[in-house]
Amino acid sequence: MSTPEGPTSGAPTTAPVAKQVEHLRTHHGDTVNDPYAWLRDGKDPEVIAHLEAENAWTAAQTAHQAGLRGEIVESILARTQQTDTSVPSYVTHARTDGSGDEQWWYYTRTVEGSEYPIHCRAAATDPDTPPDPEAGPVPGEVVLLDQNREAEGHEFFSVGCFDVSPDGWLLAYSVDTTGAERFTVRFKDLSTGQLLPDEIPDTAYGSAWAGRSHFFYTRADEAWRPYVVLAHALGTPTDQDRTVLTEPDERFWIGVGLSADERWLLLGSGSKLTAEWSLLSVDDPTGDPRVVAPRREGVDYQVEAAGDRLLVLHNDDALDYTLAEAPLTATDHTQWRPVLPHRPGVRLVDVDAYRDHVVVELRRNGLTGIHIIPRDANGDLLPGRDLAFDEELYTVDSSGSQNWVTDRIRIVFTSMITPFTVHDVDLATGALTQLKQTPVLPHPVHGHYDPADWVQTRTWARSPDGTLVPISLVAPADVPRDGSAPLVLYGYGSYEVSIDPYFSIPRLSYLDHGCVYAIAHIRGGGEMGRQWYDDGKMLVKQNSFTDFIACAEHLVAEGWTSPDRLAAVGASAGGLLMGAVANQAPDLFRAIQAGVPFVDALNTILDPDLPLTVTEWEEWGNPLEDREVYAAMKAYTPYENVATRPYPAILATTSLNDTRVFFTEPAKWVARIRELVPADPQRPVLLKTEMAAGHGGVSGRYQRWNDLAFEMAWVIDQITTRPAAG
């Protein structure tokens, strides 16, 4: 595996300086000049030349890190079982002729040297005797999709939908080869391995089969908002596809999926605060959907078809959500009947239904959990139980079962010291059977992985308003608590997204270099329930930033690190966090690494023509109409608040084809910092742009590891190569 190249002899000797062009913005009587607004058109040769100049400067400034990058990449490769397989999943398909069922084992394989997974299946006879793909070729293996072949000739490749028809003999999959998240759907006949002539361009996420002849999918508008569900009848022209449901409200996204019992199409339309769901019988794919309960502003709910009834997870008079049931024929919320009462502080997150059980995913005390509810012979829900785990910090997710009739589900357990571990759960007893743990291979220098070499713990910081903020932390077991250890502090804090404790092979390279790694579970995320989210958005978004600063100060005060050895890392909305703390507490951090950072938030949210802006108003507020929101956003948006004073070292990374956070934002931010902040060769301000990628960066796993090594090497170089102060 090659490592990033250093600069040639013709490397630049000075940082790029972006030109300034007057561009006035006036709202609520406030006029602002935005001189770098011209850095917006990704097709403008002058803009491309500026990004390429930034890339050349970054390469020159990081050339000395090439050896460290290579070390990190080799460590990842050495510890990763590159030829690997997932645990096979047992799936039953009903034959279309009514002659019974067919059973298959589904799994994915990766091959050393290949960037992408290979999706496979093999015929099954017994749910208790899966094949062992790691022992050699599986007899009768069928390759459903080899992403490596599909990706040939493309710099970027991503799969959107991957749906096998209910009878098991057609595969619908979609591909994106630019990173713009616009997909083309293709259909494969699994009995012959041949592609059907049907091909649907310009689709978004969300898809489902109705039988084997009708395929439902979504399409996005010019703002990248999935706004319509369409139905394609195989063998007919795609320009004749039927419009099933359209969402005119620009705050709402639309989606489609198949119920667990495969009897219903579930069509959801939701904003960040409000939802509405409809049902359409798979036996009537040309019919009209029926609304389960009309939308009510501020009421969020989701629906699961559970055989003879509906299960509804909702927040109507239940801040942390409650579980209700309703008739299959329900058309109004008055038909909802509680079955799992609301418990403040226990956030119900998701529900999956099976014939004999219901599985609820939840959050409590900043940790994830799973609650299993048995059903009696009539399908009624009985008292349930929580699964118990014995680590202080962990994350557990239910991957469920793809079968309506099942006596087991799959879960994945991980912590900051425990690799991802797949278990089967006996739904009747709650007993766990470990099926596989992600292997961590011996390192040529550091030897076998031993969890005892590391310590994980949770500590709590006190924010200025008195709120206690949890921090998850992993460190070398012998780390000194005298402030001398380097520390990487990660944060996000938006959209009710929770950054839970998890294991990472690449992160071991931080620990190998003596670094402590911590996650700040700040408000705006969902770690502590719905109120935690509400207290870090809109007009109180500043809480997210003060929480993160309080976490950093707490870690310093507790002796885990010191400011000259502290790096902050965040991406996307977490990149907004990075820009805000750079402005508000620059002396607290040695370095800040901001990925695809949302640092020009005010200008973006002021422009309703930009992708996703209108849907974001329920997260940030509408500064176009609300003077108070405008003032609040202007007060914290990083680009608006760069000051003439020393800053931490900064590395901003972005992608040219990112449709969620335009490359424009970090490009403008870096230009403004260069304009106002005194240059410090020891604390460089760098911008790196992927010229063929989207919001998630490059697509292949080796490419991702190289990019990750670039970022990690930069951080390690900043916080470990100079003596600690004092």
First-to-last C-alpha distance (Å) of the chain:
41
Q: Hey, how many other C-beta atoms are within 10 angstroms of the C-beta on 293?
A: 24
Q: What is the pLDDT of residues 77-135, one digit of tens each?
A: 999 999 999 999 999 998 877 777 899 999 999 999 999 999 999 999 888 899 988 88
Any catalytic annotation for residue 202? no
563's CB contacts (< 8 A; 6+ apart) are: 556, 587, 588, 589, 590, 725
Asked if residue 696 has pLDDT above 80, the reply is no
Which of the residues 278, 572, 655, 699 is marked catalytic? 572
- Of 49, 158, 74, nearest to 698 (Cα)? 158
Q: Hey, how many other C-beta atoms are within 10 angstroms of the C-beta on 199?
A: 12
- What is the per-residue pLDDT for 7? 45
In a domain, 95, yes or no: no
pLDDT band at 310 (very low <50, low <70, confident <90, very high): very high
Could you give the percent of the chain with pLDDT greater than 90? 90
In a domain, 153, yes or no: no
Query: What mean pLDDT comes out for the span 612-618?
Result: 90
313's CB contacts (< 8 A; 6+ apart) are: 301, 302, 304, 321, 322, 323, 324, 348, 350, 351, 360
pLDDT band at 6 (very low <50, low <70, confident <90, very high): very low
Q: What is the pLDDT of residues 223-274, one digit of tens each?
A: 889 999 999 999 999 999 999 999 999 999 999 999 999 999 999 999 999 9
Q: How many domains does the chain have?
A: 1
Please tell me the distance from the alpha carbon of residue 338 to that of residue 313, in angstroms, as a whole number.
Answer: 10
- What is the per-residue pLDDT for 725? 42
In a domain, 253, yes or no: no
* Three-state DSSP class for residue 7: coil
DSSP, residue by residue, 202-264: EE-S-EEEETTTEEEEEEE-TTS-EEEEEEEETTS-GGGPEEEEE---TT-EEEEEE-TTSSE
* Three-state DSSP class for residue 642: coil
Q: What is the pLDDT of residues 357-388, one digit of tens each?
A: 999 999 999 999 999 999 999 999 999 999 99
In a domain, 366, yes or no: no
Any catalytic annotation for residue 544? no
In a domain, 685, yes or no: yes
In a domain, 651, yes or no: yes
Asked if residue 658 has pLDDT above 80, the reply is no
pLDDT band at 612 (very low <50, low <70, confident <90, very high): confident
Which of the residues 50, 93, 371, 695 is marked catalytic? 695
Please tell me the distance from the alpha carbon of residue 454 to that of residue 654, in angstroms, as a whole number.
Answer: 33
In a domain, 398, yes or no: no
- Structural domain harbouring 72: 24-79+443-720
- What is the per-residue pLDDT for 467? 98
pLDDT band at 9 (very low <50, low <70, confident <90, very high): low
In a domain, 215, yes or no: no
Which of the residues 397, 500, 658, 717 is marked catalytic? 658
Query: What mean pLDDT comes out for the span 689-697?
Result: 77
CATH code for the domain of 581: 3.40.50.1820
Any catalytic annotation for residue 695? yes
Tell me how far CA of residue 392 lies from CA of 348, 364, 499, 524, 587, in angstroms. 21, 13, 16, 23, 33
Please tell me the distance from the alpha carbon of residue 414 to that of residue 417, in angstroms, as a whole number.
Answer: 8
pLDDT band at 693 (very low <50, low <70, confident <90, very high): low
**Lowest-confidence segment of 307-316, 351-360, 464-473, 653-662 by average pLDDT:** 653-662
